[in-house]
A and B are shown apart, each in its own frame.
Chain A
């Protein structure tokens, strides 16, 4: 049984690794969703393999929960998928994020220096308020 568990574990780990590589490469949010779905299945298979090797019946509820959670995740993301702007499909590097962050800060500072307080910072009246 030991070598069966090891070889099945290696196969599952490789499958999960390939799915993670696809999740990193993208290129779209939906590709990542599919890849993470495969990851969840690999986790289910790994837990099942552990239960089989140690003959543990008490981890079976974990399998039920995992199968439901994976489904909810992929359906939710697919529901909110939208057209992504060009170049959004890849993970940005640290420098790019820092540059974007600096540009945003600079814009905020410029606004404040002009003595103009943005509207949303007033905490104005609630929608539908009785005056």
Chain B
């Protein structure tokens, strides 16, 4: 295979990654619109969104194929992976403390259980 063949392969792979990433951005939007409560919307805004971002940036990197740009894209991916959990944690904590978590939709609620047991222990 010659150099131009590899360029074509990279372009096709980049197109696939871009389409996949765009699909996950759409999935994040649909999840934010359709899910019933704050925590599930936060899930849609954290996981599919980050995966979609990573796929789009991989697609962009395959298309640009120049050292400096690709390292900047790696930086964006690392920042996304670092900041998404922090943002989700802050939103979830604020939501729990201001009573926006619907406990009827939760499978398990370990935080409430632990807080109550801690309170009982402090009172005893």
**How far apart sit A41 and B115, CA to CA, in the bound complex (Å)?**
35
Stretch at the interface among A7-15, A90-98, A107-115, A117-125: A7-15
- In contact, B29 and A18 (Cβ under 8 angstroms): yes
Contact A12 B73, beta carbon cutoff 8 Å:
no
Binary flags per residue of B83-113, CB closer than 8 Å to A gives 1, else 0: 1001100110111011110000000000000
Report how far A75 CA is from B63 CA in the complex, Å.
Answer: 32
Number of A residues with CB within 8 Å of any CB on chain B: 50
Please state if B22 and A38 are interface contacts (CB–CB under 8 Å): no
**Inter-chain contact A19/B69, CB cutoff 8 Å:** no
28 residue pairs A–B, Cβ–Cβ below 8 Å? A4-B15, A8-B21, A9-B22, A15-B22, A15-B26, A18-B32, A19-B28, A22-B33, A28-B98, A28-B100, A30-B95, A35-B45, A37-B49, A38-B25, A41-B49, A42-B25, A44-B76, A48-B18, A52-B18, A52-B60, A52-B64, A60-B76, A63-B76, A64-B76, A67-B76, A75-B87, A79-B94, A83-B99
